[in-house]
Amino acid sequence: MVRNRPRPATPDPAEQAFLDAYDPDAFERPSVAVDLAILTASGLGLEVALVRRAEHPHRGRWALPGGFVGIDESLDRAAARVLRAKAGLRNVYLEQLYSFGAPGRDPRTRVISVAYYALVDPVQLAHHAGGQLQFGRIHVPWEGETGGPVEVRGAKGEALRLAFDHADILGMAVKRIRGKLDYTPIGFQLLPHAFTLRRLQDVHETILGHPLNKDSFRRRMLASGQLEATGERESQVGHRPAELYRFAKRSAI
Amino acid sequence: MVRNRPRPATPDPAEQAFLDAYDPDAFERPSVAVDLAILTASGLGLEVALVRRAEHPHRGRWALPGGFVGIDESLDRAAARVLRAKAGLRNVYLEQLYSFGAPGRDPRTRVISVAYYALVDPVQLAHHAGGQLQFGRIHVPWEGETGGPVEVRGAKGEALRLAFDHADILGMAVKRIRGKLDYTPIGFQLLPHAFTLRRLQDVHETILGHPLNKDSFRRRMLASGQLEATGERESQVGHRPAELYRFAKRSAI
DNA sequence: TTAATAGTGTCTCTGAGACACTATGTG
DNA sequence: CACATAGTGTCTCAGAGACACTATTAA
């Protein structure tokens, strides 16, 4: 890869001087990382995968899985690589969220982080119980799409202290998926292959943070054309079993 | 600023080895830039500010104004600085859009670009006519929020060849503002202080790429509470003059 | 049989589209 | 005056909420 920018003479010395001032090699370069908000929806609510930091800074705090971007690696590939390396996941919904670049966000050095979020069904993450990845429940202290940092709580309801600006990243992720939920089939990504309409509604309510009208939700989802009846029903539920549906076209990256 | 990461001994050598592999200093670092899609809405449609590249690569092509991010400068500040330096603008709507990081997007060296978009009313940009900044009309070859690169045309309708991946950046900007238009008062940012409802509808139609129902648009806008009647009317229009409105709370960054 | 939730049918209310009509400038 | 667009009133239609009612399983 060519690292040094060719500098042909230009007729305009002012323009030349201006461009010289913006030569990339004249700048100290930041590190660029990806951080991943790996989200899932258990019966308990919206959960996120976290790793406990073993080192300073923020030793003992909880952080989103992340990694640095290779010099010949695209941002999307870096995110997919981290997802595979840290959570063993591939072919799940993965989308770039926002870039965080406050100078002091990492006290060691300048790190610009391109945040991604992944939506995964809980079954695919079950084998991580007790492993490197821990799951925290997301608690959103604001309404609607106001935005702002969120809180994360552990299995016993205790608050988990998040490292760096990861509470802001998670807040942005919640805001994004709340917005997307209205017009895209994003909820399916958080459920197993087959699911009942009630479970899908649970996911939507979990993400949005408020209850939805059952009748209207059913109608809207069935009318959307995104659901396919499997012909099977749930069982062992202590009441009339619901029809199981699948997402008509499960998209993945 | 601390550039070298402290490496305290940890009890877990495997973890230590793992983290060593991700030491930022072990990686060649990319350059990080901001690129700005400065958008305005003239009577001709949605327009974008471009600079003609005086150098290789892509010499003679048209590019979005941009600049490298300083090592102690946040992304937002870098974007605001470029906006001020290249377009003389401050206090306009400016929002981060997306980060573009394909390894080959700049043939000189690895440059990751954090794209921003700004919405500016045409009056503030009028003095740029004939200067460094040229304006091109955006033509969107896709419907709704499909997404994809857009085309840009010059004053005589000729196609302008864009540099790097800037057609993709502009496509993403159009997609974003189309989505935002439905639920945020984003259209005001593209108009002068006082404007008629018809002009606001023109802006919405320009952005969305399709005509809107006049009655419904009026009702929706007036019901939104975001408009304030100025009490004045337009004049010299050859028909009944329309009431002039202003945005109730003109937000800016 | 009872408890509990799935699923259907229908009424109402609200907002968007359609359209007819009136209002008020310029030429 | 004619013309063009601003602005109002009202009808209809589609989707969401509300609610009553029936269906089907486990215990």
Query: What is the tens place of the pLDDT at every residue in B44-78?
Result: 789 999 999 998 899 999 999 999 999 999 999 99
Dihedral (CA of A19, A27, A165, B168) sign: positive
Q: Which nucleotide is nearest to B215 (CA to C1')?
A: C17
What is the structure's pLDDT at A21? 53
Average pLDDT, chain A: 87
Mean pLDDT of A145-162: 95
What is the structure's pLDDT at B252? 41
Mean pLDDT of B139-157: 94
What is the structure's pLDDT at A210? 92
Out of A40-49, A83-92, B124-133, B172-181, pick the least confident: B124-133
Chain A touched by B211 (CB under 8 Å): no
C-alpha to C-alpha distance for A114 and A169, rounded to whole angstroms = 10
Percent above pLDDT 90 for chain A:
70
Residue A216 scores a pLDDT above 60: yes
What is the structure's pLDDT at A184? 86
Distance in Å, residue B247 CA to nucleotide C14 C1': 26
User: Using 50, 70 and 90 to split pLDDT, how confident is the model at B8?
Assistant: very low
Percent above pLDDT 70 for chain B:
87
In B16-45, the residues whose Cβ lies within 8 Å of chain A are 19, 22, 24-25, 27-33
Out of A114-128, A179-193, B92-106, give the one with best mean pLDDT: B92-106
C-alpha to C-alpha distance for A149 and A102, rounded to whole angstroms = 15
Whether pTM exceeds 0.75: yes
Q: What are phi and psi of B134, to 5 degrees?
A: -110, 160
Which DSSP category does B146 fall into?
Answer: -
C-alpha to C-alpha distance for B75 and B66, rounded to whole angstroms = 12
Cβ of B242 near strand D (distance < 7 A): yes
Residue B236 scores a pLDDT above 90: no
In B141-200, the residues whose Cβ lies within 8 Å of chain A are none
* Cβ-Cβ contacts under 8 Å for A175 (sequence gap 6 or more): A145, A146, A147
Chain B touched by A15 (CB under 8 Å): yes
The residue among B14 and B239 whose pLDDT is bigger is B239
What is the structure's pLDDT at A249? 72
Out of A47-56, A73-82, A121-130, A155-164, pick the least confident: A121-130
Residue B248 scores a pLDDT above 90: no
- Work out how many CB contacts closer than 8 A connect A with B: 131
Which residues of chain B make contact with A65, given a CB cutoff of 8 A?
none
Mean pLDDT of B187-193: 91
What is the structure's pLDDT at B144? 86
What is the structure's pLDDT at A252? 41
What is the structure's pLDDT at A2? 37
Residue A103 scores a pLDDT above 60: yes
CB atoms within 10 A of CB A247: 18
Specify the DSSP element, H or E, that contains B16.
helix B13-21
What is the structure's pLDDT at B6? 40
Residue B9 scores a pLDDT above 50: no
Which DSSP category does A22 fall into?
Answer: T
Residue B170 scores a pLDDT above 70: yes
Out of A75-89, A140-154, B126-140, B145-159, pick the least confident: B126-140
What is the structure's pLDDT at B128? 73
Q: What angle do CA A149, B66, A77 make, to 5 degrees?
A: 60
- Name which of B196, B181, B203, B186 is nearest B237 in CA terms: B196
Nearest CA-CA distance, residue A22 and chain B, Å: 6
